[in-house]
Homo-oligomer: A and B are copies of this chain.
Amino acid sequence: MSELRKDPVVGRWVIISSERGKRPTDFTDQRTARKGGFCPFCEGNEHVTPQEIMAYRGNGAAPNAPGWTLRVVPNKFPALMIEGDLNKAGEGMFDKMSGIGAHEVIIETPNHKEVLSSMPEKRVEDLFWACKQRMEDLRKDPRFIYALLFKNEGIEAGATLEHSHSQLIALPIVPKRVKEEIDGAKLYYHYKERCVYCDIARQEISSGARIIAENADFVSFAPFAPRFPFETWIMPKHHSAHFEETEAQEMNNLTKIFQTVIRKMDKTLNSPPYNMVLHTAPFRGVDREYYHWHIEIMPKLTRVAGFEWGSGFYINPTPPEEAAKFMREAKI
């Protein structure tokens, strides 16, 4: 059973995943890329994954068999376990709870060779629909307060399987960075009576210098103070705290701008490894006035992120205005 543990000073929760329990010698393998060979996510290999939670497939087709376009399955090596109680407890001055949560894999395509930038628009939209559907289901579980969608594309970005997929983790706690955003947005709202993200979107659109792409419902830009070169955000123009409340029209525009951004990034940076994280409001306990969901995309270009972990202090060699210009002008 894995454990959630809290740092007693800064309040950050981490998963200590003893199921995966790594001995010192296990880490050497991780330095090797896993390419080629058998792929558990390919069509025809459905029997290798745990039983699917949901899938998009033709009417009447049997589950856990070929014929699907998207599958959601439990992670075979989950960081958290779906069954059990939270068992919140102390250990002297420290706080911990059982590693309860959902850890699901969204297999975005049956085709091993497709990636988000090259797959048909419909598949990318399905990823977002599946995420919405799973979040609506997971939020019914009173043990969970947050669902974190993320994607590691490429070995250097932390992917352990090449086949295009995202991951969804439902948690009994709110991730630290989202918590910080909520606190900051709340403070701003109480001072200004406006959503800080709405103000950011307005200023970015009005200035234009960091804009990458835009459509009726969404804007994409390089943030004013990015941690990483070519860090890119996508944000709904209209105020919305919860991703899972996105409607059909917006979902299509989200898909369009998302795929445009990934294609521009691939063109500008030669298909870099990247991480994508969806920041949305917790299921409960946050006023919808002041939080604003958005997507953060971080191409993995530098190794300079070494000491940054330890200090929270980032050195970014690329001004966002330059990064945005390259991305904006990239022909796709």
Contact = CB atoms under 8 A, between A and B. Distances in A.
B224 A310 contact: no
Interface stretch (A40-48, A64-72, A319-327): A319-327
Contact of A94 (B27, B169, B225, B301): B225
Contact of A203 (B93, B152, B177, B307): B93
A180 B312 contact: yes
Interface string A279-300: 1000000000000000010101
A268 interface: yes
- Identical chains in the assembly: 2
Contacts of A155: 303
A21 interface: yes
Contact of A152 (B9, B151, B167, B307): B307
A269 B27 contact: yes
Given A24-B269, A225-B14, A303-B156, A9 B316 contact: no
A275 interface: yes
A103 to B, nearest CB: 9
Contacts of A24: 230, 268-270, 326
Nearest to A183: B10
A225 B27 contact: no
A242 B20 CA distance: 39
* Majority secondary structure of chain A interface residues (helix, strand, loop or mixed): mixed
Category for how many chain A residues contact B: 35 or more
A311 interface: yes
Interface in A197-235: 197, 199-200, 203, 207, 223-230
B184 A9 contact: yes
Contacts of A304: 158
Interface of A: 3, 5-18, 20-24, 27-28, 30, 79, 91-94, 148, 150-152, 155-159, 167, 169, 171, 175-181, 184-185, 188, 196-197, 199-200, 203, 207, 223-230, 268-270, 272, 275-277, 279, 296, 298, 300-307, 309-320, 322, 326
19 contacts: A9-B180, A9-B200, A12-B225, A14-B313, A16-B226, A18-B319, A21-B317, A21-B318, A24-B270, A27-B302, A150-B306, A152-B306, A155-B303, A158-B302, A176-B313, A179-B312, A275-B310, A279-B311, A298-B310
